[in-house]
Chain A
Amino acid sequence: MSAIRERAVPRPAGRRPGRTSPPPAAPRASRDRGGPWPYLLVAPAVLGMLYLLVYPLIRAVLISFQDFRLRQLISGHAKFVGFANYRTLLTDPRFWTVVRRTFVFMAVNVVLIMVIALLVALMTERLGRIWRTAVLSSLVLAWAMPVVAATTVFQWLFHSEFGVVNWALTSLGFDSFAHYPWFAHGTAAFAILVLLVVWQSVPFAAITLYSALTTVPAELHESARLDGAGALRVLGSVTFPMIRPIVMLVLCLEVIWTFKAFTQIWVMTRGGPGDATTILPVYAVQTALAGQRYDLGSAASMVTVVLMSGVLVLYFRQMFRQEDEL
């Protein structure tokens, strides 16, 4: 699902000053009005969205209000039970631990990603041509690494016996890391997952922020510097305000994409050891498919969607402010 990322590179170069004519996408000529053609053309897309997105969503909402277990899955007659599933869920301390962990996971990831990406972007902008190409190419390569492959590689890097990380740490004198079983300790496994997600997410954020930085006119920097502003001051009062909309977009996307870490977590730890790396989507799938409580799992999924939709609204507001034409 990485393609979704690319859309978000907001076209910083798109808006040329001085162009006042209406945006080119505006459909012209009212003689195009009417006729069944436009509807026929969008029909497959609309049907696809209805059947493959809207219907599953409605189904999930329904199931979350039903008593739906293995028996109902096979026989099909599920009874509505009102808010019983949500009550069960919201009174379960384990669920709240998972919610808290999801937020911690999200906060740590997003802060690390944004800070590192901003630093890398600022650095890349100041580099000469050769270094810049080298940095951008390696970012693209890390970005291109398929999630499951990267997850497998990280498991190998942190292998307790032959892993290169343990070897490096031991060689540096941290003898306690000899044969350290990273995936047996909750905090260590959690940290590795954060590291993996950050490693995979920084390239997109850094490249996007870098391309935003390149659109800040150099004259602005120069005039600010002539007015006696120091480097930090230029960054804070000239550069940052210019790229703020894109920073906000990337921030929203990274928050939303936290939930995509499902794949990394499932492949690496399945939420373990114990519960240490279980975040909401993992909890939902575990409850539904492993515990056969499809009703509780759906309810947990719906809670996730509600939590996410707040950030989504922010994201869309920011995006449509950028995208004056729709």
Chain B
Amino acid sequence: MSAVRPNIPVTKRSSARRLRRLPLHAGAALTVLVCLFPVYWMAATAFKPSRDIQSATPRLVPHTWTLEHFRTAVHTAGFARFWCNSLLVTTGAVLLSLVVALGAAFAVARMRWRGRRQFVLAVFVAQMAPWESLIIPVYIIARDTDMLDRLVTLTLVYFMVTLPFTTIVLRGFIATVPPELEEAARVDGCTRFGAFRRIALPLLAPGLMATSLFGFITAWNEFAYANFLIIKNQDNRTLPVWLSSFKNTFGTDWGATMAASTLFALPALAVFLLLQRHVTSGLAAGAVKG
């Protein structure tokens, strides 16, 4: 990050400076607190015994710790199944969109053809597609083609949601690999795609990694389509839908609800923390470069 900017040089009057910077640090502390408290409270509630949760004076730090709520959540009928469903749909969508986007990004970044500009424009527009307003027609089309209640349908929808982003990012990454490398390989007797596979693809690993992780998060979190396309066959629900109905199943068992939320949020939080450097310094900055 380029922000290590030489601020005011350290002087002897550092205590005066500290005083002057007090509001700044108070603001920073407040920001950290506001950002973290809901996440912390989720985890803290999940580890508290029920009598501490249902008390008129909540403790900010759990007095005693328990795994009971996690046990309740995991042993709920279907938790493992919904977990598998989510994983299956997510992986399918991410792999499909990686393969399709890689081809399209290669064609856009490395080849000149009639309609290329229009295609790029279409991808940019598709990225802003108003998915919230397409629920009704997608539901009706899925019903007409007998695709309701099937995980494949969700996979296809998530594939389409992540495809434009993946294409744009991969196009940027491919463009940063100098074509001369591949040309050299072709001179040495590689085919065009052989050269791409052996020379460019390994260099694209970070891009593939970043796009698949973000695709993963998108699909993992999606609620609206999962809620309206899986109706009768409740066994095919995914985790977000299950979590949203958890309160109905468990009534006032907030400990178990928070434990379930924690289990659901954990993969996303882990991925984001791993990717933090990319997120803050601009995964997209590198991504959309050129």
Could you list which residues of chain A lie within 8 angstroms of chain B, going by C-beta atoms? 1-4, 6-14, 23-25, 27-30, 32-34, 37-39, 41-42, 44-46, 48-49, 52-53, 55-57, 59-60, 63, 73, 76, 119-120, 123-129, 131-132, 134-157, 159, 161-162, 164, 167, 199, 203, 207, 210-211, 214-215, 218, 256, 259-260, 262-263, 266-267, 281, 284-285, 288-289, 294, 297-298, 301-302, 304-305, 308, 312, 315-316, 319, 323, 325-326
Could you show 26 A-B contacts with beta carbons less than 8 Å apart?
A1-B222, A4-B127, A9-B282, A23-B175, A25-B109, A28-B179, A41-B103, A41-B107, A45-B119, A48-B100, A73-B143, A123-B31, A126-B7, A127-B24, A142-B35, A142-B38, A144-B217, A145-B265, A146-B240, A146-B265, A148-B221, A148-B223, A149-B262, A156-B45, A164-B41, A289-B139
Q: Name B178's closest neighbour in chain A (CB-CB).
A: A24
Q: Is B271 an interface residue (CB 8 A)?
A: yes
Q: Is B131 an interface residue (CB 8 A)?
A: yes
A53 to B228, CA, bound (A): 17
A32-B110, A149-B265, A211-B282 known; A325+B290 contact, CB < 8 A: yes
A56 to B141, CA, bound (A): 7
Other-chain residue from A46, A55, A123, A140 in contact with B24 (beta carbon distance below 8 A): A123
A266 to B222, CA, bound (A): 13
A33 to B112, CA, bound (A): 5
A140 to B35, CA, bound (A): 9
Chain A nearest CB, measured from B162 CB (Å): 6
A140-B280, A218-B5, A326-B117 known; A11+B288 contact, CB < 8 A: yes
Q: Is B79 an interface residue (CB 8 A)?
A: no
Check if B162 sits within 8 Å of A27, measured CB to CB.
no
How many interface residues does B have (CB within 8 Å)? 124
Check if B288 sits within 8 Å of A10, measured CB to CB.
yes
Which of chain A's residues have a CB closer than 8 A to the CB of B265?
A: 144-146, 149
A285 to B131, CA, bound (A): 12
A49 to B271, CA, bound (A): 28
Check if A7 sits within 8 Å of B287, measured CB to CB.
yes
A53 to B160, CA, bound (A): 8
Check if B141 sits within 8 Å of A8, measured CB to CB.
no
A119 to B26, CA, bound (A): 13
Comparing B55-63, B70-78, B201-209, the segment that makes contact with chain A is B55-63
Which of chain B's residues have a CB closer than 8 A to the CB of A56?
A: 134, 137-138, 141
Check if A146 sits within 8 Å of B2, measured CB to CB.
no
Chain B nearest CB, measured from A24 CB (Å): 5
Check if A147 sits within 8 Å of B221, measured CB to CB.
yes
Q: Which of B39, B132, B244, B280 has the most CB of A within 10 A?
A: B132
Which of chain B's residues have a CB closer than 8 A to the CB of A294?
A: 136, 140
Q: Name B263's closest neighbour in chain A (CB-CB).
A: A149
